[in-house]
Amino acid sequence: MRLETLVITQDDLNDLIRLHGRHELMDLVIERLQEAFLLAHQEGTMTPARAGVRRCPGGTGVLEWMPHHDSGRCLTLKTVAYTPANPTSRSLPTILAALTRFDDTSGHLTAVCDGVLPTAIRTGAASAVASRLLARPDSGTVGLIGAGAQSVTQLHALARVFRLSQVLVHDSNPVHRASFAERTAFLGLNVRVAAPQEIEEAADIICTATSVPVDGGPVLAATHLTPHAHINAVGADLPGKTELPLDLLRSATVVPDHLEQARKEGECQRLSMAEIGPDLPSLLASPMRARALRSQRTVFDSTGYALEDHAVLDVLLELADKYDVGERVQLEHLPSDALNPYGA
C-alpha cells in the first residue's frame, strides 16, 4: 500500500496567503474557530490540556505537546517550543511549533505543517471571537501591552471584527514598540506608542501578549481602566507566569478558553473555582448571557488549546487542496511484507 504525507512548508504557507489573501484567511479562521468552539460545547468534546517539559538553562523554556482527537476522523497533534530568549539571542520567534495530522483508523501521518504562523493566527482569531462576544460592539480603541509577533495577529484579527479608529501600543523593548506601526501598516490603522496608563484610560479592548517571566507580572496596573474594558490576556502560559493584577481578576468576569489548562497555567491559576466565569464555548452557546457582560469588565484567559490548532489545520489543509500547494512524500517506512522491517 502506498501512503503519502502532505508536507506544508513556510514557502507553502506564504503561497496560501498570497493566493487566498491575508484578510480572507484570518476571516475564515475566526469563523471556523467559533464553529469549533460551539460544536465542542454541543457535543461535550473534551480536548486534553497540554503537557510538556521544562527546558533551557534555568528552565526558562518549555517543550509542549497538544493533542485533539476528532473521533472516527483524525487526530491533530501540535508540538510547541516556547523560548523567550529567542528573539534577542537568536533572531528567532519566541514560539517554534509543528502541526501534525493522523488518520484515526490507521494511525497514518497524513500531514505535517509549520506551526509558527498557524499558532499566531489562531491565537489572534480566538481573541477576536471572545472580543466580539464580550466587548462593546462600538469598541474603537485597542490597546496592546507587548508589541511582539503575537500582537500583530491580535490586532489583525480584532480589525476584522471591529471598526477601529485608534491603536495604542506599549512594550518594554523600545525597538519592538518603535517598529510595531510598520509591521502592522498593512491594516491602515492609526497606530502610536503610548504609556500603559493612557492605554488603560482610552482603550475599549486591551490585549496583553508579553514574555513576562514567572513571577514577573503584572504588566498592567489596571488602576485606570474604563468600566467596560475587555482584556484578552494571552501571555500567561506557565505555572507562576501571569500578566494581570489579582484585584482586577477578582473584580472582572474571567472567561477561560480551556478551564483545566487555564487553572494550571493561565490567569485563572490564582483564582478559586467560584471566582472563574463560564468558559468561552459555554458563553458562545448562551449569547444573551454574554451580552449582559458587555457593560462590565471582562477578561478572556487565552491559554490556547489544541482544538484551536485542529481548526486552523483544517482550514490550511482545505486551502492546500484548493490551490494545490504542498508536497506529498512517502515518509513512513512501509515494506512489502509488514512482518519484515527489512523488506524492500
Extract the C-alpha cell encoding 200: 488603560
* Pairing mode, strands 5-8 and 109-114: parallel
| Whole-Å CA distances, 279 to 83, 261, 283 | 28, 11, 6
Distance CA(33)–CA(63), nearest Å, equals 24
337 carries an active-site annotation: no
3-class DSSP assignment, residue 77: strand
Q: Which candidate, 320, 311, 333, places its Cα nearest to that of 111?
A: 320
Rounded CA Rg of the chain: 20
Residue listed under C-alpha cell 484548493: 322
Helices (H), 142-297: 149-161, 174-183, 196-202, 246-251, 259-265, 280-284, 287-291
Which residue among the candidates 15, 204, 237, 301 is catalytic per the annotation?
Answer: 237
Q: Do β-strands 230-233 and 191-193 pair in parallel, antiparallel, or remain unpaired?
A: unpaired
DSSP notation for 185-205: GGG---EEE--HHHHHHH-SE
- The upper half-sphere exposure of residue 157, i.e. CA atoms within 13 Å in the direction of its Cβ, equals 29
Active-site residue set: 237
